[in-house]
A and B are shown apart, each in its own frame.
Chain A
Amino acid sequence: MKNHWLSPFLLATLLIAAAGCSRKANTIVVQLDWVAEPEHGGFYQALAKGYFKAAGLDVAIVPGGPNGNVLQKVASAKAEIGQSDSTNAILAIAQSAPVINIGAVFQNDPSVLMLHAENPITRFEQLNGATIMARPEWAFLPYLRKKYGIDFKIVPQNFSVANFIVDKNFIQQGYYIAEPYHITKGGAREPKYLYAWDAGFDAYTVLIANQPWAAAHASQVRAFMQAYIHGWQDYLEGDPTPAHELMKKANPNNTDEFLAYSRAKIIAEKLVVGRQNGSVAQIGRISPARFQTQLNQLEELGILEKNRLKVEQVMTTAYLP
């Protein structure tokens, strides 16, 4: 039979499909929410010191960036596990995304409002009429509006501290374990902060997993969480150099000085172990009560449909040691 005209196309399709299947079947892809930084210390230390390997896991860490799309990637199983914040994870679950919160990175989300030290604003009520640069989807913003009866304008986050350094009245959402380093390096004074938890809005920085995948690989997920928690503990209490070497490779912009600064901040602020009554036993733990509070708050804000979600649908402690 003469060469069928379709065969080159069939061959091309097969080759493309094969290329797409190059990921080994047992790799766990972890999608980070940002470029590699000390907030990812648990992953990188566990990877560098072989904790994942010892548990029989092949873990690939994929750094993110300004538009990491962690939720989309985990929902569509392009990544099995991702780092996100609990609020947006809840809202994605409400949109039927098949993800679930499986553990904590930080007991408290370090997203705060950064202000210049000279800025006269000291209380949330005084933000009325201000212009704030923040991620527009940050649920803390409508929470503030509702709680204090104020309104303000939002400029979408551009992930640069240039505007902040230049304008003394600038107010910007930031991770207070990282941004201040770049701000002071840029010549401005250390900013002051308004903490979301002081207003009663206390989210987690979480690990999310693709729910069907996690359910089908429960023992792997448990082993992963065990290794991750061990990695965090070792990173915070021991020598962070193995993790920092990997972070520098993943992001050449990381300097030893910055990495040390951010790690020191994480330790001093007790973000991993818990700001109140914190302990090593608390690492990675998530509380159904806190998630229920978040659900209630989001429902009250009208962002989440009432009675749309139960706590069991958004989080599970089944994979924690």
Chain B
Amino acid sequence: MKARWQIFLLPIGVGLTALGLWSATCHVFSLPIYILPTPLDVVRAIFSEREALLEAGRNTAIVTLIGFPLAVVVSAGLSVLLSLSPTIRTSVFPYLMALQMTPIIVVTPILLLWFGSGLASTVLITFLVSFFPLVVNTTQGLISTDAHLVELFRMSRATRWQEIVLLRVPAALPYFFTGLRISAILAPIGAVVGDFFAGSSSGGIGGLGFRTVIYSAQLKTPALFATAGVCCVLGFALVSIVYFLSWLCLHQWHDSFAQRDR
């Protein structure tokens, strides 16, 4: 197993090298600040825009933290329903996939026309972006339970409900968490796209998407980089929570967390 220090230092080393290359590119090619700012320019922008970025990050985080759990709850329920009946699954799945493939950028203006441009719309957009990977993965997990174990339950006269709660759901957890990890990366994107179109109408200074519109129009490229950085931090935070939950639920029994034998 890798030594502890390698896990931290290797990525840091790559990061520093990348920063060095970035700075070098700016200087060697004399690129103007509004095309490719130097890392220092971006740091300055983070500092000068810190209040706006903090509030925008907070607003986007709020939208994410409402839309994402909502997607988890609704998708869990729908997945159980889909796992119960092959007929429903076959009829509904193609449409779920079609909805997943529809780009959110196309759907968002339509939703805003229907529902106005407040918090509800941006939460809905976040929900839609997070929802489909969760449904697809969780349903797959619920129907992929080991056939032998299902037989065992049936031979022991378990009720359908017991079968679901005691066997299928726990067995589906790894699949669920895979879907959760994908959705956790997508949810902040949904929130940003939502307020890119909805603006600050959900209050205050708007979210990171709205900041993007403004900085881009004002040619403030360092601030754009800074906004992207804040989006990344938000994404990392959410994914870390999901990884932690995943570890909590799975580490005692699932292979993905098993230590390799020396």
Contact = CB atoms under 8 A, between A and B. Distances in A.
Interface stretch (A28-36, A91-99, A182-190): A91-99
B33 interface: yes
A95 B32 CA distance: 9
Q: Which of A88, A155, A162 has the most CB of B within 10 A?
A: A155
B35 A156 contact: no
B219 A92 contact: yes
Contacts of A163: 113
B219 A95 contact: yes
Interface residues of A, number: 23
Contacts of B33: 95-96
Interface stretch (B65-73, B93-101, B198-206, B244-252): B198-206
Contacts of A88: 217-218
B50 to A, nearest CB: 15
A162 B109 CA distance: 11
B197 interface: yes
B117 interface: yes
Interface in B95-151: 109, 112-113, 117
Contact of A97 (B34, B196, B214): B34
B113 A72 contact: no
B176 interface: no
A136 B219 contact: no
B112 to A, nearest CB: 8
Given A96-B34, A97-B34, A136-B214, A156 B219 contact: no
B177 interface: no
Contacts of A72: 34, 219
A95 B34 contact: yes
Contacts, number: 68
Interface in B34-52: 34-35
Given A96-B34, A137-B214, A155 B220 contact: no
Q: Which of B33, B113, B219 has the most CB of A within 10 A?
A: B219
A265 interface: no
B107 to A, nearest CB: 14
B175 interface: no
B219 A155 contact: no
B194 to A, nearest CB: 12
A156 B199 contact: yes
A17 B199 CA distance: 40
A95 B220 contact: yes
A162 B114 CA distance: 11
Nearest to B48: A305
A300 to B, nearest CB: 17
A286 to B, nearest CB: 21
A141 to B, nearest CB: 10
A154 B201 contact: yes
**Interface of chain A, main secondary structure:** mixed
Contacts of A154: 199-201, 206, 210
Contacts of A192: none
Interface residues of B, number: 25
A96 B38 CA distance: 14
B74 interface: no
Contacts of B200: 136, 153-155
A95 B218 contact: yes
A241 interface: no
Interface string B211-224: 00110011111000
A153 B203 CA distance: 7
Contacts of B202: 153
Contacts of A158: 109, 112, 197
Given A88-B217, A88-B218, A137-B217, A156 B34 contact: no
A156 B32 contact: no
A75 B33 CA distance: 12
Contacts of A153: 199-203
A115 interface: no
A308 to B, nearest CB: 13
Contact of B213 (A71, A96, A133, A156): A156
Contacts of A135: 217
A119 interface: no
Q: Which of A72, A76, A135 has the most CB of B within 10 A?
A: A72
Contacts of A98: 32
Nearest to B195: A156
A44 B146 CA distance: 72
A114 to B, nearest CB: 17
B34 A75 contact: yes
Nearest to B32: A96
Interface string A149-184: 000011110100011000000000000000000000
Nearest to B203: A153
Contacts of B201: 131, 153-155
A75 B196 CA distance: 25
A156 B202 CA distance: 12
Q: Which of B113, B202, B213, B217 has the most CB of A within 10 A?
A: B217
Interface string A120-138: 0000000000010101110
Given A136-B213, A155-B198, A156-B198, 4 more contacts: A88-B217, A92-B219, A153-B202, A154-B206
7 smallest beta-carbon distances between A and B, as pairs: A137-B217, A155-B199, A153-B201, A95-B219, A156-B199, A154-B199, A136-B214
